[in-house]
Structure 1
Amino acid sequence: MTQVDRPLFTDEAGQRDAAWVQAALAGEAVAFERLVDLYQRPAVGSAYRLLGNRDDAQDIVQEAFLRAYRSLDRLKEPSRFGPWLMRIVCNLSLNARRSRGTRATVTLDEKQGTDDRSSEFGERTGGPLRPEQVASGKELQEAIDAALETLPEKQRLSLVLFTIEGWAQKDIADMLECSIENVKWNVFQARRRLRVQLGNLLPG
Structure 2
Amino acid sequence: MTAEEAGHHVVSSDAGPLRADAATFIAAARSGDTARFALITERHRRELQVHCYRMLANYEDAQDMTQETFLRAWNKRESFKGDATLRTWLYRIATNVCLDFLEKRDDRAPVPSELPDSEVLYLQPYPDRMLPEDPQESVVVRETIELAFIVAVQHLPPRQRAVFILRDVLGWPASKAADALEVTVASVTSALQRARVTMRERLPGSRLDWRSPTTHELSDDERGVVKSYIEAHERNDLDGLISLLRGDLRFAMLPESGTVVRTAKDAVDGWVSGGLFQRGHDDWRGITTTVNRMPAAALYLRTPGDPEYRLFAIAVLRIVDGKIAELTGFDAAGKPWLDVPPAL
TM-score relative to the length of structure 2: 0.39
Task: Describe the SS at the equivalent of 1:76.
Answer: coil
Aligned 8 A contact 1:17 1:35 in 2: yes
- Give distance in 2, aligned partners of 1:53 and 1:23: 35
1:57 partnered with 2:95? no
Q: Larger helix proportion, structure 1 or 2?
A: 1
| Matching of residues 31-50 of structure 1 within 5 Å | 31-50=36-55
* CA offset digits 1:128-156 (Å, max 9, x no partner): xxxxxxxxx7xxx57x734x12x7x2x43
1:174 partnered with 2:176? yes
1:145 partnered with 2:151? no
Q: Which amino acid aligns with 1:188?
A: Q
Q: Which amino acid aligns with 2:81?
A: K
Query: In 2 relative to 1, CA 43–173 (structure 1 residues): closer, same or farther, beyond 3 Å?
Result: farther
Coordinate RMSD, CA, aligned? 4.0
- Give distance in 2, aligned partners of 1:91 and 1:123: 23
For 2:21, which of 17, 24, 34 is the aligned residue?
17
TM-score relative to the length of structure 1: 0.60
Task: Describe the SS at the equivalent of 1:169.
Answer: coil
Aligned length: 164
Q: Which amino acid aligns with 2:49?
A: V
* CA offset digits 1:26-58 (Å, max 9, x no partner): 244443123322211111011111111111111
Aligned 8 A contact 2:52 2:62 in 1: yes
Aligned 8 A contact 1:52 1:103 in 2: no
| Matching of residues 52-201 of structure 1 within 5 Å | 52-77=57-82, 79-100=84-105, 101-102=107-108, 114-116=141-143, 122=145, 141=151, 145-146=154-155, 148-149=156-157, 153=159, 155-163=160-168, 166-170=169-173, 173-177=175-179, 186-192=191-197, 194=198
Quote how far apart the aligned CAs of 1:74 are.
2.7
Query: In 2 relative to 1, CA 6–56 (structure 1 residues): closer, same or farther, beyond 3 Å?
Result: closer
- Give distance in 2, aligned partners of 1:195 and 1:70: 36
Q: Which amino acid aligns with 1:157?
A: A
Aligned 8 A contact 1:48 1:57 in 2: yes
- Give distance in 1, aligned partners of 2:34 and 2:65: 21
Q: Which amino acid aligns with 1:47?
A: C
Quote how far apart the aligned CAs of 1:21 are.
1.7
Aligned 8 A contact 2:177 2:188 in 1: no
Query: In 2 relative to 1, CA 91–23 (structure 1 residues): closer, same or farther, beyond 3 Å?
Result: same
Task: Describe the SS at the equivalent of 1:168.
Answer: coil
- Give distance in 2, aligned partners of 1:182 and 1:16: 34
* CA offset digits 1:101-149 (Å, max 9, x no partner): 22679xxxxxxx5545x8xxx355xxxxxxxxxxxx7xxx57x734x12
Q: Larger strand proportion, structure 1 or 2?
A: 2
| Aligned residues with identical type, % of pairs | 26
Aligned 8 A contact 2:69 2:97 in 1: yes
Quote how far apart the aligned CAs of 1:195 are.
7.0
Q: Which amino acid aligns with 1:167?
A: L
Quote how far apart the aligned CAs of 1:183 are.
6.0
- Give distance in 2, aligned partners of 1:12 and 1:182: 32
Aligned 8 A contact 2:52 2:95 in 1: yes
Quote how far apart the aligned CAs of 1:84 are.
2.2
Gaps of 5+ in 2: 1-7, 112-139, 206-344
Q: Which amino acid aligns with 1:21?
A: F
Larger RCO (alpha carbons 8 Å, 6+ apart): 1
Counterpart for residue 7 of structure 1: 13
- Give distance in 2, aligned partners of 1:52 and 1:23: 35
